[in-house]
Each structure stands twice: as structure tokens, then as C-alpha cells.
Amino acid sequence: MTDVAKNNRHITVGDTFNTGDRLLVLTVNGQPVYAEPPLHEPISEDDLRALAVRVTRDEAVAEAWLDRANLDLCNRTPREVARAGQGHLAANILRCFLAL
């Protein structure tokens, strides 16, 4: 049996912690990965959908995410919060994935 791991880089991941105005999501091989500062201005449902497609790289997956209740959104769907003028809350969830 061959050792396939010798051809792969070992990645170590640190914990999440706040460094002031930027949230350090994690460290990868000692290098910090930052999340973007949270949005506070409204974001439209169409813009939220476009961001979801960008993150998931799949329109069907993005649509499913928009219609799935999310605990971080008080069990509302991202589409519901966007229609209520709080789409930035759902966008902040997606933007964390862009940092990775």
C-alpha cells in the first residue's frame, strides 16, 4: 500500500476569534483568513440570490439555500429576511464563505 498523504500538503486550522474590527475566521498553515466586515445596509432579494449563486456556483443550490430556514436568521429563510428589508443578515452568512 502506498502513502498518498506524502503527496499532499498538511493543513492545520486554528480557531475563530475577533481581532477588533475584523473577524478572523481561521488560520490556515499559520496564515489568517479574514471575513469581510459585516454589511449593515439593505440588500435586495435579487442581489442576495446573485451572491448565493456566486458562493455555491450552482443556481439550484442557491435557490434551495434561499428557501431553507436558517437558525442564524431566527428560523426564517434568507428570502424572507430579504423581503423584510434585512437581506444583509443573510448576505453576511454567505460572505463568510467568500473569505475561505
Whole-prediction pTM value? 0.63
pLDDT band per the 50, 70, 90 thresholds, residue 62: very high
pLDDT-wise least confident of 9-13, 64-68, 83-87: 9-13
**Cell numbers standing for residue 65:** 439555500
| pLDDT for the residue 50 | 93
The string of DSSP letters for 16-52 reads -EE-SSSEEEEEETTEEEEPPPPP-S---HHHHHHHH
